């Protein structure tokens, strides 16, 4: 899908950026595949934990992070490329359908997390008239 969109992009820098991201995605997929095979071989050796297994697990996690960051960057660059030239006169004269981006509204989350109490009593704010006035001397003794 990105390659068909890439052909319609009039700006050469956007094309170069998107092609570079595609190459990075292929590279990180290959790296992730290799790291996953190394981890599987380490686990099958002798059935015991080896220190190099920890290194391979960390490299597997790092490769997955790199891949996801590159995918996010690719989507952002694709969005910029498609919206930057969406209303240009050249695109309208060619009758090329632009990709329509529909943003999903973020989920609503509470600003303050409330903790549940086990004893069934709720914390209530007491009014100042309901508070007991204790003499400071008695409180300190």
The full length of the chain comes to: 141
Of the candidates 56, 66, 62, the one whose C-alpha atom is nearest the C-alpha of residue 26 is: 66
Non-local CB neighbours of 61 within 8 Å, separated by 6+ positions: none
Tokens 């686990």 -> residue: 43
pLDDT in tens, 29-83: 999 998 887 755 555 556 665 555 566 778 888 899 999 999 999 888 888 777 7
Q: Retrieve residue 29's tokens.
A: 């997929």
* pLDDT higher at 9 or 96: 9
What distance in Å separates the CA atoms of residue 21 and residue 15, rounded to the nearest whole number? 10
pLDDT in tens, 86-131: 555 455 555 555 566 677 777 887 777 776 655 555 556 656 666 6
What distance in Å separates the CA atoms of residue 32 and residue 107, rounded to the nearest whole number? 31
- How far from the centroid of its chain's Cα atoms is residue 45's Cα? 34
pTM over 0.85: no
């Amino acid at each position: 899908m990105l390659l068909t969109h890439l052909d319609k992009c009039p700006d050469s820098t956007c094309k170069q950026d998107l092609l570079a991201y595609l190459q990075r995605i292929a590279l990180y997929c290959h790296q992730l595949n290799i790291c996953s095979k190394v981890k599987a071989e380490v686990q099958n050796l002798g059935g015991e934990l080896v220190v190099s297994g920890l290194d391979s697990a960390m490299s597997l996690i790092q490769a997955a992070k790199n891949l996801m960051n590159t995918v996010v960057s690719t989507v952002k660059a694709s969005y910029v490329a498609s919206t930057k030239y969406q209303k240009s006169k050249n695109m309208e004269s060619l009758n090329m359908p632009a990709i329509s981006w529909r943003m999903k509204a973020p989920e609503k989350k509470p600003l303050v997390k409330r903790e549940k109490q086990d004893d069934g009593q709720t914390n209530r704010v007491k009014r100042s008239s309901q508070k007991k006035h204790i003499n400071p001397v008695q409180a300190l003794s």
